[in-house]
Chains A and B, each alone.
Chain A
Amino acid sequence: MSATALPARFALAAGTTRLRAQGSGWSVARDADGAWDGWLAAAQGGDARAYDRLLRDCLPLLRAIARRRIADHAEAEDAVQDTLLTLHRMLATYDPSRPARPWIAAIAERRCIDRLRRRGRTSGRENPIDDHAETLAAPAGVTGEDRVASRQLREAVADLPESQRTALRLAKLEDLPLAEASARSGLSVGALKVATHRALKTLRRKLGVEDDR
């Protein structure tokens, strides 16, 4: 049994190593020659070119770390930017006698954890809306029931005579003073009042709302 189990275990171990290398992208191979250490040390001395190369070169590693921890792509990219800001701020803490990769990776891990924790604090007050395209199209806070009611209202308004519709829009929806509504619609103030009153009465009747008065 051990004769067959042993090679299988070695194969599994080799596979794991390969997977890890793929997971963090080609940056692993690049870092292996120690280029990052030199660039980071040069950046501490103010070498902007080395710094630019380093940050661009380690971007795949930062993205791999962020995406492993954060499922949402936009959020993960924000975590990458947090990491870049932190790297910039903490440049003085790098010790050139040590490899750069663990220093960079530790900062990236920390920023991702920090972002997840902040998100965790607010997520209790949020609902996922990924699968509800209709909700996204509607204004915030509108429920299905509200949408049915508002469609009925729109249809009822559309059925009103033109003058009543105009009066309702200017006097009630745009909330203009009667004089201005009169100037814009070409109707007299009295006619506007009558048209608005009739429009509301018609709508109440159509939508089944009892008139209190």
Chain B
Amino acid sequence: MKTEDMIGRLAAELRPVRRLAPPLRRAVAWIGFAALVIAACVMLFGPRHDLMERLSRPQEAAQLAFALATGLLAAIAAFQLSVPDRSARWALLPLPAAAGWIGSLGWGCLAELARQGSRALQLDTSWGCFGFIVLTGVPLSLSLMWMLRHAGPIRPVPVAVLGGLAGAAIAAGGLSLFHHLDAAAMVLAWHGGATLLVVLGFLGLGRIWGDRAGARFTAA
């Protein structure tokens, strides 16, 4: 088909569309939804009994703040990147918070190592943490991707990766409110590992999404 003919057909097919709200406003709406989900989980499982005492420790408060900030900033970045004319540099937005999160966990490991010796690095299994982050983070991330489904032909992989990071980091932060692991090495391995796994899963999902969306927009 000639391009000029295609323009005629597209114009003939035009239907009024409802404009999407600005990305920041939509991001705030999703963050509100995620906060409700996490609050429901905390109410369901009950906050940990020593929560206030734990949060009075600067390092643990920093871990929680960095985890939640990573999730919130990743969500904002995903909403911004889903609009074609926004800068690709929005993808960098959650990186400082993510670095702070990993850094605070790493610092915690070193501090415990200095205090307890090699015993601090012993890892036990904590499938409960892993399961919660995956089973809560993935649906949260999928709900974000559903809101950003128009981004498929534009930036599928960054949007999916940031969506995965947003869901998993918020789930990990929420988990700390009712089931926090005591050893920093355990938190790093299970919270960090589960988050990484979700992000990698969404990286693969983003590629498939991009291939499918791209094929739908291939004219010839």
The chain A residues found within 8 Å of chain B, CB to CB, are 43-49, 51-52, 55-56, 59, 77-78, 80-82, 84-86, 88-96, 98, 102-103, 106-107, 110-111, 114-115, 118
The chain B residues found within 8 Å of chain A, CB to CB, are 1, 3-4, 6-8, 10-20, 22, 82-85, 150, 153-155, 210, 214, 217-220
Give chain A residues whose Cβ lies under 8 Å from the Cβ of B4: 56, 59
| Least CB separation from B21: chain A residue | A95
* B83, A82: Cβ atoms closer than 8 Å: no
* A78, B219: Cβ atoms closer than 8 Å: yes
| Least CB separation from A95: chain B residue | B22
Interface residue from B3, B14, B16, B20 paired with A81 (Cβ < 8 Å)? B3
Considering the chains assembled together, what is the distance between the CA atoms of A111 and B220 in angstroms? 13
Considering the chains assembled together, what is the distance between the CA atoms of A185 and B150 in angstroms? 66
Give chain B residues whose Cβ lies under 8 Å from the Cβ of A90: 84, 150, 153-154
Give chain B residues whose Cβ lies under 8 Å from the Cβ of A51: 10-11, 14
* A110, B7: Cβ atoms closer than 8 Å: no
* A48, B14: Cβ atoms closer than 8 Å: yes
* B14, A107: Cβ atoms closer than 8 Å: no
Considering the chains assembled together, what is the distance between the CA atoms of A107 and B14 in angstroms? 18
| Least CB separation from B15: chain A residue | A46
Question: Can you name 10 A-B pairs with beta carbons within 8 Å?
Answer: A48-B11, A48-B12, A59-B4, A78-B219, A81-B220, A84-B10, A86-B217, A93-B82, A110-B153, A114-B214
* A82, B14: Cβ atoms closer than 8 Å: no
Considering the chains assembled together, what is the distance between the CA atoms of A88 and B83 in angstroms? 14
Give chain B residues whose Cβ lies under 8 Å from the Cβ of A52: 7-8, 11
* A81, B6: Cβ atoms closer than 8 Å: yes
Q: What 3 pairs between A and B have smallest CB-CB spacing?
A: A81-B219, A46-B16, A52-B11
* B20, A92: Cβ atoms closer than 8 Å: yes
Considering the chains assembled together, what is the distance between the CA atoms of A82 and B154 in angstroms? 12
Give chain B residues whose Cβ lies under 8 Å from the Cβ of A93: 20, 82-84, 150
* A85, B217: Cβ atoms closer than 8 Å: yes
| Least CB separation from A85: chain B residue | B217
Interface residue from A43, A84, A89, A114 paired with B3 (Cβ < 8 Å)? A84
Considering the chains assembled together, what is the distance between the CA atoms of A44 and B17 in angstroms? 5
With A78-B220, A92-B20, A115-B218 known to touch, is A84 a contact of B14 (CB < 8 Å)? no
Smallest beta-carbon distance A104→chain B, Å: 8
Smallest beta-carbon distance B155→chain A, Å: 7
Considering the chains assembled together, what is the distance between the CA atoms of A38 and B20 in angstroms? 17
Considering the chains assembled together, what is the distance between the CA atoms of A22 and B22 in angstroms? 34
Interface residue from B15, B16, B85 paired with A106 (Cβ < 8 Å)? B85
| Least CB separation from B155: chain A residue | A110
Q: Which of B16, B22, B154, B217 is the most central at the interface, judged by chain A CB atoms within 10 Å of its CB?
A: B217
Interface contacts beyond A52-B11, A93-B83: sample of 20 additional A-B pairs, CB < 8 Å, sorted by A = A48-B14, A56-B7, A77-B3, A81-B3, A81-B6, A82-B217, A84-B7, A85-B10, A85-B217, A86-B154, A90-B84, A90-B150, A91-B17, A92-B20, A93-B82, A103-B84, A106-B84, A107-B84, A114-B214, A118-B218
Smallest beta-carbon distance A15→chain B, Å: 28
